[in-house]
Amino acid sequence: MNEQKYIQSRRSRRKIHFMAECKLNNQEIVKVAIRDISAGGVLLEASAAPDLRDGFVLRMPGVGEFACNVVWRSGALFGCSFDQELTPGIMAAAQLRGAPLNQAEQLLPAASLGPAGDTLGLILRNLRRHAGMTLDEVASALNVSKPTIWAWEKGKARPLPARLSAIATLFDVDVQTLMKTSEPTSSAELIDHCRTRIADAFGAAPTAVRIIIEV
């Protein structure tokens, strides 16, 4: 399943939680938690951080076994696509098997969003893909331009602190986690931060702002 089909399939995802197993190609069995599921894919959390790059079989107790491939990974989270979409009957069985998450559990913890080396742009990209949203849809939801979202994900610009709360609400994550990754830590990041503020003030894309420093 390509990325576009994966994104489209994730729009009807259901937030549930139950334990399952991944059978790797080397026959190793890894315990995982299912965070949510859709006909086209599933979000898994694995504290052991297994190597799932070559595909695996997901065993859901009382539901069945399904071939999967990893589409993206961020820390302990694995966004996976099914080789074949789940039928409505299988989806119903999975929902009956898993208890719906309460609001507190739906907020992904900081440790799950990615390792210390993950940039804010990478985290935002993974969250968008997991939510099954396009760049246009995120831009519309946050009332910014599509190039702005693209620039955030590529690390060409950074969201203003005032926008982090809206981003956290959109993706059901803890705003404090995003704030910790959003502080400029180098001269290049500081310039990007200023570029974003200028672009936002003039209603332009960050990529349209050029900053020249004379020393």
Distance between CA 39 and CA 85 in Å, rounded?
A: 5
Q: What is the pLDDT of residue 184?
A: 54
Q: What is the pLDDT of residue 58?
A: 93
Q: What is the pLDDT of residue 171?
A: 80
Summarize pLDDT for 28-85 with one digit per residue, the tens: 888 888 888 888 888 888 876 556 666 899 999 888 999 998 888 777 788 888 999 9
Walk me through the domains of the chain, giving residue ranges and CATH numbers.
3-105 (2.40.10.220), 110-208 (1.10.260.40)
CB 132 within 8 A of CB 38: yes
Q: What is the pLDDT of residue 107?
A: 42
Q: What is the pLDDT of residue 204?
A: 72
Q: What is the pLDDT of residue 117?
A: 45
Q: What is the pLDDT of residue 59?
A: 93
- What's the burial of 99, exposed, middle or buried (CB within 10 Å: 0-12/13-18/19+)? exposed
Q: What is the reported pTM? A: 0.51
Q: For residue 199, which phi and psi values (nearest 5 degrees)?
A: -60, -40
Q: What is the pLDDT of residue 132?
A: 76
Distance between CA 3 and CA 79 in Å, rounded?
A: 11
In whole angstroms, how far apart are CA 124 and each of 10, 54, 86, 159, 172? 16, 25, 27, 10, 12
Which residue carries 């610009």 as its tokens?
157
Residues lower than pLDDT 50 in the chain = 1-2, 101-112, 115-117
Q: What is the pLDDT of residue 206?
A: 72
